[in-house]
C-alpha cells in the first residue's frame, strides 16, 4: 500500500457516496481547496484530520497513517499536462507567466510568491453569458535575500 492507493480509495468512495469536497472540508475544519489538495495526495493531514477522513471514506488505521506522510508534491504524471482543464492552467502560465512575473516584480521587487504561505479560493461567478470560474490565489511575497 502507498499514498496513491489511499488517494484512489478516497476518490472511489467520494464518487460512490456522492460526496462534495466542500462537505468533506467542513467536517475536517479546513478550506475545500486545501482538503481537496490533501485528499488528492498533495498535502499532509494531522492525526485528528486523518481520523475524520477515515470515518468519511472508510479508511483503515494504516490508510489514515498514509494521509499523515509528507507527499512528493507537484507530481503530475507528465511534464506537460494532458487533462484539458489542467492544460488550460499550463497554457495560462505559458501565455501570461512572464506578464505575471513582470507585474509582481514591478510591485514588490525581486522575489517570489510563496506556495507555502498560500491560500486559494475557487467560486462560481454567475454570468448571463455563461457562469465563470473565479480563482483567487494569495501567496506571501518572499524577497530574495542579499548575502
Catalytic residue among 8, 22, 60, 91: 91
How far, in Å, CA of 90 to CA of 94, rounded?
Answer: 6
Catalytic residue among 75, 114, 119, 138: 114
Beta strands in the chain (DSSP E): 111-125, 132-143
Q: For the purposes of burial, counting CB atoms within 10 Å of the CB of 75, is it exposed (0-12), middle (13-18) or buried (19 or more)?
A: exposed
The answer to whether 3 is a known catalytic residue is no
The answer to whether 132 is a known catalytic residue is no
Catalytic residue among 22, 88, 98, 132: 88
Q: Which residues are catalytic?
A: 88, 91, 114
Amino acid at each position: 500500500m502507498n499514498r496513491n492507493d489511499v488517494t484512489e480509495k478516497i476518490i472511489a468512495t467520494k464518487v460512490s457516496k456522492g460526496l462534495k469536497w466542500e462537505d468533506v472540508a467542513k467536517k475536517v475544519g479546513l478550506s475545500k481547496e486545501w482538503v481537496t489538495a490533501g485528499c488528492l495526495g498533495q498535502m499532509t493531514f494531522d492525526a485528528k484530520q486523518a481520523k475524520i477522513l477515515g470515518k468519511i471514506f472508510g479508511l483503515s488505521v494504516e490508510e489514515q497513517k498514509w494521509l499523515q506522510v509528507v507527499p512528493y508534491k507537484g507530481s503530475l504524471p507528465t511534464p506537460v499536462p494532458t487533462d484539458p482543464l489542467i492544460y488550460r492552467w499550463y497554457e495560462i502560465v505559458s501565455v501570461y507567466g512572464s506578464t505575471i512575473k513582470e507585474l509582481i516584480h514591478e510591485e514588490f521587487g525581486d522575489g517570489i510568491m510563496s506556495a507555502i504561505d498560500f491560500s486559494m479560493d475557487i467560486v462560481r461567478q454567475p454570468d448571463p453569458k455563461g457562469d465563470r470560474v473565479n480563482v483567487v490565489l494569495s501567496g506571501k511575497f518572499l524577497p530574495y535575500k542579499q548575502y
